[in-house]
Chains A and B, each alone.
Chain A
């Protein structure tokens, strides 16, 4: 009997551990670690939407956009989860489309997708609305809400892969640099 209780308690602590840790890492702003922890412990929490949502937001903040694919498929049981899944899928799709358009000169100007406040969505919107020559290598956009914020979009060539770079400038000072591939 004692053994059984011990096994039960051990099981409970093992299950509760990663969730607490994930929340803690998220609160600390350690998004990369939180995303990795969420990904490693995902099989234990396939139906726990709180855990999956937190894991997904961590990955989004860490700029690991491709890793959102797993939470997108898992978030489906509650209204909030479905709304978040739609939010993540738009960002993931816009990333993939923009990357495809920049490298292969694929025309996405006719697309009118829903948008978000994420930097990828903003740049995607500016790119699709941009009527200028799409053959140029670097694109500069100014934020419509705040003219002091500007975006620079270009492709960086690495030894084995081309990477999409989005640089955010605030008063011409580099504020953030996002790298996607």
Chain B
């Protein structure tokens, strides 16, 4: 005896399976047609825009109106000023500066990229951070770095070579900030950082004291006092006659809450050179007015 119900069920399954490739093909065709349509629409919109530009350029009336309004404005401002000629010129110059439009780039779109997997972004940044560190703290110490000011008759080797301070972690926060969510992209700071890195590279190639002094100054201005101290120290090691590097080293020490060391460094320097600037700085440090 035939089981009709079972046979019908089998037939239904067979029919359903036969439809699957057709359905898949159909959906694929639909998706492809959507993609083609999108491309088509995109090219159409761009051609429309170009035609719109040509239309605008063919009608110069609004431009002339603008010009008129501008001339009216200038005439209105220039006539009733009862000033001397020089003053009037200065005022005009000021007006020009004020009227000058300054365009700023907008980097908010970067925030929309924050959803990306962090691993893919962080790995290379860590590498960069390491290279930065390697660049800055060239002579490394295994022990916890401390400042050792050794007394000598000559000023030249006042501070030992291995008294380099560990670079602050804060200095590298800039790098990690960029990948932290909800933070804006600080282009200017990054530029400054990369530019300093270029000078540091040049210094390591040339051993030019001008470059190291420049780097020390820049780091001091950026409030990275440990870096500033390190580079001032390198400058002193290369050439102990540069007063500015001594002053930066002392200032950095003072900012790092190591006033005693800053004072002893300056007193030694003053004993040998009788520098006026150094004595003034010493007084400032002693008063706490730095």
Contacts and interface: CB of A to CB of B under 8 A. Distances in A.
Contact of A87 (B104, B125, B199): B104
Contacts of B63: none
Interface stretch (B6-14, B146-154, B209-217): B209-217
A29 B194 contact: yes
Contacts of B217: 171
Interface in B102-120: 102-110, 112-113, 116, 120
B125 A27 contact: yes
Contact of A84 (B101, B106, B199): B106
Interface string A13-42: 000000110011001110000000000000
Contacts of B109: 49-50, 53-54, 80-81
Pick the most buried of A27, A28, A116: most chain B CB atoms within 10 A of its CB: A27
A112 B93 CA distance: 12
Interface string A83-126: 11011001000000000000000000000101111000000000
B184 to A, nearest CB: 13
A171 B110 CA distance: 34
Interface stretch (B20-28, B82-90, B226-234): B20-28
Contacts of A29: 128, 190, 194
B103 A173 contact: no
A24 B108 CA distance: 17
B107 to A, nearest CB: 7
B130 interface: no
B195 A176 contact: yes
B102 A84 contact: no
B143 interface: no
A170 interface: yes
A87 B20 contact: no
B232 to A, nearest CB: 15
A97 B255 CA distance: 47
A84 B110 CA distance: 13
Interface in A119-166: none
B interface: dominant SS: helix
B24 A1 contact: yes
Given A4-B24, A50-B112, A86 B103 contact: yes
B199 A115 contact: no
Interface magnitude class on chain A:
20 to 34
Given A27-B124, A171-B214, A116 B113 contact: no
Contact of B178 (A27, A80, A86, A87): A27
Contacts of A47: 42
Given A4-B27, A171-B214, A83 B106 contact: yes
Interface string B7-45: 000000000000010001001100000000000001000
Interface in B146-204: 178-179, 188, 190, 194-195, 198-199
B100 A112 contact: yes
B96 interface: yes
B110 to A, nearest CB: 8
Contacts of A27: 121, 124-125, 178-179
Contacts of B102: 114-117
B116 A20 contact: yes
Nearest to B122: A27
Contact of A24 (B105, B110, B121, B194): B121
B105 to A, nearest CB: 5
A170 B214 contact: yes
Interface of A: 1, 4, 19-20, 23-24, 27-29, 46-47, 49-50, 53-54, 57, 76, 80-81, 83-84, 86-87, 90, 112, 114-117, 170-171, 173, 175-176
6 contacts: A1-B20, A19-B113, A27-B125, A29-B128, A83-B103, A171-B214
Interface of B: 20, 24, 27-28, 42, 49, 96, 100-110, 112-113, 116, 120-121, 124-125, 128, 178-179, 188, 190, 194-195, 198-199, 210-211, 214, 217-218
The 10 lowest CB-CB distance pairs between A and B, nearest first, are A114-B101, A87-B103, A80-B106, A50-B109, A53-B109, A116-B103, A87-B105, A28-B124, A173-B214, A83-B106
